[in-house]
Each structure stands twice: as structure tokens, then as C-alpha cells.
Amino acid sequence: MIMRSLMCLTLPIAVSVGGSAEASTKARSAGHNSGLASVYSYKAGRTASGERVHPTGMTAAHRSLPFGTRVKVTNRRNGKSVVVRINDRGPFVRGRIIDITPAAARSLGFSGLAPVTIEVADRS
């Protein structure tokens, strides 16, 4: 009897906490997001989406956006922007929000790391 009462008290709390965390994650991935972008080097092979590696392409890796999503990446230091297509998973380093190809980084005017804002441009 006591256990049933405790379950009734804790269940709504657990549901509401889980729901709000999920909603905030969806809101973050659907809108603007700021953080560090890094340039990643491709090794011969395929990306997580199964595509062949193209270091000269305008593509990127993101942890959760669906493959094929086009994302506008803006360098916050100089205001330059480029649209890249998500075709890989990453970055796996804490504090970084996107890994981009060397070609995309050149278009944004940096090499290595840069503070950026990303915005979903088109979901394919």
C-alpha cells in the first residue's frame, strides 16, 4: 500500500522532468546553436552516412541532426557564412558543436577552431 502511494507521487515528477529535457533538446537542435566549430581531416573511406569521403565538399558532422540536413554556419569573428550538408557524426570532443570540412573552413576564413552559430537551413 505504501509502495503504491510512493509510485503515484514519483511518477508524475519523472514524466515531467523527462518531457522538459526532451523538449529543450528538440528546441536547441531545431533553432540556433552557438559554440566551437572544428575542422576535421578525413581519412580514406566513408562517412557515417555511407558516402565516400570528400574533403573538398561543403559537408559537416553533427551529433544529432539527420543526414542530408543543410545547416548555415556563421563565423562569429568575421561574419562569414556557408551552408553545409550533414553527412557524418561528430564532433566527439566536448564543447564543439560541429565539425566541418577543410573547404568549408576556408570559406569561413579559419583553420582549426572558431566560434560559430549554426542554424538549420533545410531538412532534406
At 54-84, the pLDDT tens digits run 889 999 999 999 999 999 999 999 999 999 9
pTM higher than 0.75 for the full model? Answer: no
- Cα 93 to Cα 44, 57, 62, 64: the distances in Å are 21, 22, 12, 14
Quick one: pLDDT at residue 61? 95
State how far the Cα of 54 lies from the Cα of 32, in Å rounded to an integer. 26
At 19-61, the pLDDT tens digits run 333 333 443 444 569 999 999 877 778 899 999 888 899 999 9
